[in-house]
Amino acid sequence: MSLRTNKNPKPVTPAPTPSPALGIELESLLRELAVHQTDLLALATEHRAAIARADTGAIASCVERQAAILERSRASEQRRRTLVETWAPRERGITLTDLASRVEEPARTRLLALGGQVRTLVERLARENRIVRAATESLMAHMDGLVRQVARRLSQSGTYSRRGGIDAGTPLVAGIDLRH
């Protein structure tokens, strides 16, 4: 029986031994991510309600606040990358769940549960964002329909095309009676 050996074995660098510091950093990050996702979820619900009311001021406010939360979220993502690079420098595709599973009990159970909560929030936010996107598209189509209807009413002068735009070179010769 012959045993084959690799004549040029690659040195394997073991992952750093988990320490309480990993658990502390990971818990802090997971809690931060949970706050961001919770805030974004509440904002998506508010955004959807603003769209339903066609409240442009509230919609703009939601978009601005969402941008601020996403900026904070980017900082958390950088923290996540740093944490993975520190604790699993040579591993590709490692997740926070993978890191959490390396932490000793009882912290491991707590971290895995917290990670599950974050994952659930992310999934709920994705669903809510799909709804907001559909509502936005519906509102935009409605507004476009209104603009076209107004354009058809004003097209008696020949100023507006069938699509609601102003034909190039055509002078504006229409008026609207705002008293009625």
This prediction has a pTM of: 0.67
Q: Could you tell me where the DSSP H helices lie in the chain?
A: 20-53, 56-87, 96-100, 107-154
All structural domains of the chain with their residue ranges: 20-135
Residue 154: per-residue pLDDT? 67
Residue 177: per-residue pLDDT? 60
Say if residue 44 is exposed, middle or buried (CB neighbours under 10 Å; 0-12, 13-18, 19+): buried
CATH of 20-135, one of 1.10.3470, 3.30.200, 1.20.58, 2.60.120: 1.20.58
Q: Three-state SS for 90?
A: coil
**Residue 34: partners with Cβ closer than 8 Å, 6 or more residues away:** 114, 117, 118, 121
Residue 8: per-residue pLDDT? 52
| Cβ–Cβ < 8 Å for 65, 46 | no
**Residue 150: partners with Cβ closer than 8 Å, 6 or more residues away:** 164
Residue 4: per-residue pLDDT? 46
Low-confidence residues in the chain, pLDDT < 70: 1-18, 154-180
Residue 112: per-residue pLDDT? 94
